[in-house]
Structure 1
């Protein structure tokens, strides 16, 4: 009995210490947690753009409607050289086989500039983590969607939607995260010039590595943000929380990392663009097309029979 009580007390102490440690290293000015709103309709440290809607339980970056885009951006530049960003989100909608387009998590020099890359600007400076859900994918792939990938840009690279950005991607992994009944999470860790992306999408309460890329150079002083977009296909893109933790990394020096130009040592091999195959007809459309052809054949047959009978009648009259 005493051992059980002692074990419970030790567990509580560990939990309290762990929570205090997390709060100490969590950077509140770079985090978005409930309750979202401060005074009035303002959200401390965050700005919103486009169709984005703040509710008591989530921030809806885009609704499940066509041709929508939105974003949310931290208003304080991050000066932490080693960090880990945890994003709790949900992507869901009415589409069963066709859905899109997806969302992106950003650490960039510029903020609040709408554009064609999941609702944000192209030719950006910094890091983007893409969660691409577009089910009717572009180009030649060896993976399925949804797909998480990373891109580092110094302002000169174009994100090519026709190739799903595969020629500028660092790495990626497939994830089954859409239309699940539980929350999904992604963690982005940057330390010692290494970028690691981890996911918790299986409702097991633990992160597993999606990919790791070394030789990634990112400066301090950039902004965190999230954007999302829909096109002909759509989904709800919801953010439940964002938490930034400062890492106690041994490689942190007095170096002025604000002057670093974003770069990466390696990219995935480019893939040639291949046009998407034309979508197959649905069963209903096929039925009506076949019905129309059948009715047309009957109409031609009836017209032919009538013409033949008329010719026979004319022949009989001439004979008599």
Structure 2
């Protein structure tokens, strides 16, 4: 967890984060990390290393390879969540019930530094990435009508759970992009409650379907069936041979 000590007193701002996520896992790995803009300085918790029911903005880079719940995207996955303190991040469903928007990203185990840009300007949240070492930004998503207060704190956190990965932060750059914003406007916005007027509708929380049989389990069941069939066939052949031999003897 990496908290920043001073609140952001800018109406408009942009953040560039340089990072590398790497590990030895090829099939199972995770969990991911998050960039935060929150009312309180960071506290340890269950949401990628930080607390739940937060006030503010979370930009989440979820690397968990065995994704949770019914949705159409693959992992790693980048998403945003705005919270006024009343919502819980649903980790079992990868936060898809409360996300503003998101996109698939491929940044794990590459040989170069990867970057993310988070820009908040005139209530528009824009997230872009540079994941191919081309020194150019690629848009992930743009969401309008996102209201965030001034005076909140920036931070970074990560978690791995039972699956091990390294989350290396190489750089964190903050840019004040205010243009003719008055001090009164900045102070007025300290009273705003975080909200987003346009976001992906919360979906009904559904239990995961019961897991099907693994390939190994199916293989052993088929093997057992073949063995049993072979034993039955051998017994039948032996039985009829013995029966025919008795008939010829008599």
TM normalised by structure 1 equals 0.66
Q: Provide the alpha-carbon RMSD of the alignment.
A: 2.9
Count of residues in Structure 1 that have an aligned counterpart in Structure 2: 240
**8 Å contact kept, 1:137–1:276:** no
1:195 and 2:125 correspond = yes
1:265 and 2:180 correspond = no
Q: Give 1:168 deviation, angstroms.
A: 1.1
- Counterpart Cα distance in 1 of 2:8 and 2:212: 45
Deviations 1:134-183 (A, max 9, x none): 11111111211111111111111111112211121111111111111111
Q: How does 1:176-195 map to 2 (within 5 A)?
A: 176-195=106-125
Deviations 1:14-59 (A, max 9, x none): xxxxxxxxxxxxxxxxxxxxxxxxxxxxxxxxxxxxxxxxxxxxxx
Q: CA, structure 1 residues 206+277, in 2 after alignment: closer, same or farther (shift >3 Å)?
A: farther
Higher helix share: 1
TM normalised by structure 2 equals 0.83
- Counterpart Cα distance in 1 of 2:38 and 2:212: 37
SS at match of 2:190: helix
Q: CA, structure 1 residues 279+81, in 2 after alignment: closer, same or farther (shift >3 Å)?
A: farther
**8 Å contact kept, 1:126–1:262:** yes
Q: Give 1:253 deviation, angstroms.
A: 6.1
Q: Give 1:120 deviation, angstroms.
A: 0.6
Q: Give 1:218 deviation, angstroms.
A: 1.0
Residue ranges of structure 1 left out of the alignment (5+ in a row):
1-70, 300-320
**8 Å contact kept, 1:171–1:211:** yes
Q: CA, structure 1 residues 249+172, in 2 after alignment: closer, same or farther (shift >3 Å)?
A: farther
Q: How does 1:150-299 map to 2 (within 5 A)?
A: 150-249=80-179, 254-255=184-185, 256=187, 257-272=189-204, 273-275=206-208, 278=211, 281=214
- Counterpart Cα distance in 2 of 1:189 and 1:251: 17
Q: In structure 2, what is the equivalent of residue 59 of structure 1?
A: none
**8 Å contact kept, 2:82–2:194:** yes
Runs of 4+ in 1 over 4 A off after TM superposition: 250-253, 284-299
Q: In structure 1, what is the equivalent of residue 247 of structure 2?
A: none
- Counterpart Cα distance in 1 of 2:226 and 2:23: 38
Q: In structure 2, what is the equivalent of residue 94 of structure 1?
A: 24
Q: CA, structure 1 residues 287+225, in 2 after alignment: closer, same or farther (shift >3 Å)?
A: same
